[in-house]
Amino acid sequence: MKPKGSIERQMARLAEALVVPSWVLILAVFALPILGALWLSFRNETLGAFAPPKFIGFENYTTTLADPRFWESIRTTIWLTVLGLLVQMPIGIGLAVILEKNLRGTQVFRTILIIPMLLTPVAVGLMWRFMFDTDLGVINWALAGLGLDGPNWLGARWPAIWAVVIVDSWQSIPFIMLIVLAGLAGLPKGPAEAATIDGANAFQVFFYITLPALGPVILVTLMIRIIDSLKMFDIIFIVTTKGGPGTATQTLGMLIYNTGFGFFQTSRAAALGILMVLMVLPVYWLWRRAAERA
């Protein structure tokens, strides 16, 4: 009979061997492209250039950091992320709480609410682009029926930013709702029932018992939505026509696209991509710290 320590070592080796394919897959689809982009960012490669590319060090990074368009895209990205979260999180959590009550018609209502999440961003963008049309769009027509003057949604900076926030929220709120609804289904009912017996009303139960218990679920959802907002591309591309009007809604992702595929400056676009990755890393670090304290 083999000693216990020998069996444990064999099991550990077997576990390490079973994990190897996963690490190879991660290396192939994540690490290698990042390393390739990092190497490309240190060169001066441009599509269609006749001169051979050469190593230029950090020149792409210094040029990018001195470019006002880069900082403007950072500000636009942050605005879209913050405004989107302020709209999406409260509505998503509120809808989840309502659906968790399992009132009459909840199943039909839930099915209707998840429809936007099932549609492709391109189809959603085209649909809302027509709806935001100043002359023929249904949104300004509805506002006119209420006696309000609808803005030129896609013709000025802030109306265009709010248009992107509205479209992104319409498609993202069902995701938040489903995640929080799953979290609510896993919560024990005892603390809320005890608080109700002690005289707490529905708002007190929610804010002092339910919401703190949902902390880990909300943190994960918040992190996913922040990362999705930072890399938002397709909705902006379709709704505002590549970040228009002008560069009013040009996020960092749109700037990378315009630099790489509009001006064919592949090395500059790679440097922008690396900077975008560095932007996301602190978000993950903050989430980890918050999750450890939760």
CATH of the domain at 250: 1.10.3720.10
Mean model confidence pLDDT for the chain: 88
* Burial state string for 73-88 with b = 16 or more CB within 10 A and e = fewer than 16: bbebbebbbebbbebb
The pLDDT assigned to 4 comes to: 55
Structural domain includes residue 52: no
Structural domain includes residue 241: yes
Are 37 and 102 within one domain? no
Cβ atoms of 84 and 225 within 8 Å: the answer is: yes
Low-confidence ranges of the chain (pLDDT < 70): 1-5, 291, 293-294
- The total of structural domains in the chain comes to 2
Are 153 and 8 within one domain? no
> Residue 294, exposed/middle/buried by CB under 10 A (0-12, 13-18, 19+)?
exposed
Are 98 and 13 within one domain? no
The pLDDT assigned to 215 comes to: 87
Query: Hey, how many other C-beta atoms are within 10 angstroms of the C-beta on 207?
Result: 11
The pLDDT assigned to 49 comes to: 74
Residue 6 tokens, joined: 């020998």
pLDDT digits (tens, 9 = 90+) for 91-148: 999 999 988 887 787 888 888 888 998 898 889 999 999 999 988 899 999 999 999 8
* Residue 12 lies in domain: 1-41
> Residue 197, exposed/middle/buried by CB under 10 A (0-12, 13-18, 19+)?
exposed
The pLDDT assigned to 24 comes to: 86
The pLDDT assigned to 294 comes to: 59
Are 73 and 153 within one domain? yes
Are 72 and 194 within one domain? yes
Q: Choose among 222, 206, 267, 232: nearest CA to 41.
A: 267
Are 284 and 212 within one domain? yes
Are 25 and 144 within one domain? no
* CA dist list (Å): 74 to 4, 69, 281: 57, 9, 15
Structural domain includes residue 254: yes
For the whole model, what pTM was predicted? 0.87
